[in-house]
Amino acid sequence: MKHARFLIPIALGATLLHAQPAIDPGNSAQNNPLDQEITPQLDAAVKAGISYLATTQEADGSWASGRYGKNVAITALACLALMSDGHMPGRGELGDVVDRGVEFMLSSSNDSGLITSEANNGPMYGHGFATLFLGEVYGMTPGGDNARANRIHEALVKAVRLIEQTQNDEGGWRYNPVPYDADVSVTICQIMALRSARNAGIEVSSEVIDRAVEYVRMCQNADGGFKYQLGSGNSAWPRTAAGVASLYYAGIYEDDAIDKGIEYLTKNALPGKASASRSHYFYGQYYAVQAMYLAGDAHWALWWPAIRAELIAQQNDEGSWDDRSVGKPYGTAMALIVLQMPKRYLPIFQK
């Protein structure tokens, strides 16, 4: 079934599914927008950023970013940024740009289900973002009785099965599609991918999700922050944002782990604070804004105006945002996804 799926909140884990009411937007920003969330300055910044992305797409539908070359993760994020503005395959002013991105993604899906490109650094990162993108496309595209939809469905099912089969004994995932290691950063990519696929009507193992939740929980430190892997490790705000988002996307909306993680983020990473680390900035804000959006109320009211102002101030004259490690297409895609949260277009960001 492919109609109106994303209007129904779905908790993935079997034990979580029955713990949530049928409709539970709670205090999130989903149905509680702030006054003047979208400003003329924001509109102008988004328009310039979207134009930059559209003009930097490669002929094969991909985006290349710095030393990462043509990359499925960056391509998926760029397309999600365009979809956040209402551009869908075959629809919208830039629907053809997203359409080419879909074709690149499908051409990058191999027989095992892994979605990867020749320049992919850490295949499971790319695979997670690519699966998320295909899940959003499949869930938001009307119909389904055509060859293109069937191709997307086939690639999406294979991608989900690969994620399920490569979960390690701890409950997480790491860089390569083998079940030997795990870290919280790669794990959140897979959780979001599975959530998007489940929203789109693809069967997902509840046991896989439950085990992933336990892994994420074990990565939280006493200070509320999250470490990179099990065992000893310092907290850091980007992976804390990923950890909190992981719990939300697994269907957990009220929990001490979330409260402590939100508190840690507010103390250590509120935009505009000089003390906040710039390491993995766009990655961190991508997950932090999702966490605050889903937390809603005072958390969203505090975070949203601050990150909006900070990102608009950082935009380059050409419309891009520059991530010094990964490159401009990546930084631009991440900034645009953050800035377009109030548009509420993508199903993945809803409860």
pLDDT digits (tens, 9 = 90+) for 254-271: 999 999 999 999 999 999
Residue 232 to residue 321: CA distance in whole angstroms: 34
Q: Which tens digit of pLDDT belongs to each residue from 23-57?
A: 344 678 777 788 889 999 999 999 999 999 999 99
Angle at which helix 237-249 crosses helix 256-269, to 10 degrees, equals: 150
Q: Would you say 162 and 104 are in contact if contact means Cβ atoms under 8 Å apart?
A: no
Q: Which tens digit of pLDDT belongs to each residue from 311-341?
A: 999 999 999 999 988 999 999 999 999 999 9
Q: Would you say 122 and 157 are in contact if contact means Cβ atoms under 8 Å apart?
A: no
Residue 329 to residue 335: CA distance in whole angstroms: 10
Which domains does the chain possess?
Answer: 5-349 (1.50.10.20)
**What one-letter code names the amino acid at 234?**
N
| Biggest CA-to-CA distance, the chain | 53
Joined tokens for residue 14 = 């079997």
DSSP character at residue 183: B
Residue 277 to residue 69: CA distance in whole angstroms: 27
Average pLDDT, stretch 126-144? 90
Q: Would you say 268 and 262 are in contact if contact means Cβ atoms under 8 Å apart?
A: no
Banded model confidence at residue 20, pLDDT cuts 50, 70, 90: very low
Banded model confidence at residue 65, pLDDT cuts 50, 70, 90: confident
